[in-house]
Amino acid sequence: MGDSFYRLHDCAGTPACCRGKKSSAEAEALGRSRGGFSTKIHIRCENQGQLITFLLTPGQESDVNLAEPLMEQGAIRRGVGRPQLRPKRLVADKGYTGHKFRSYLRRRGIRYTIPKRKDEKHRGRFDKELYRKRNIVERLINRLKQFRRIATRYDKRAANFSAMITLAAIFLFSQFAYTP
């Protein structure tokens, strides 16, 4: 009989890295979209392009599903009094169109500029000049994507990715950021 070495542990079980609950890809805001495995960042920003709030969803998630929770976050202080949740006007792209969301905005007295899809029946007035202000959000996303961790999403956990977006926004809109 050869010499054998047996290792005994006090607490036999799974390794320490696996003891926590396993999270699903959707819980970590990872999903398939046209471009592959990705995460969508739904952003709400001010008129000057400063980030108010954001939500993360898997890449295949529809934009309009997160529109109402996004509108319920991020209060803005306008002068004296308590901060207001409701903006005076909302400018959004076609992903946020839909009767349910439009009626939500009407009930709350929020004016909106959202283009309608070609397959929608009622095609009312549409102000192209106001819709051009949507590029403020696009410029904000491009400024956030200057940070490599946001552009490529190296983080496995949604909480870590969300924290990096918050840090990038703080850096961009603080006095330390480079402004041309």
The per-residue pLDDT for range 117-168, each reduced to its tens digit, is 777 777 667 788 888 888 888 899 899 988 888 888 877 788 888 899 999 9
Q: Which two tokens stand for residue 142?
A: 């491009």
User: In degrees, to the nearest 5, what angle opens at C-alpha 55 toward C-alphas 22 and 33?
Assistant: 70
- Going through the chain in order, the beta strands assigned E by DSSP cover 31-33, 36-45, 51-58, 89-91, 111-113
Domain boundaries, the chain: 23-84+135-172
Q: pTM of the prediction?
A: 0.73
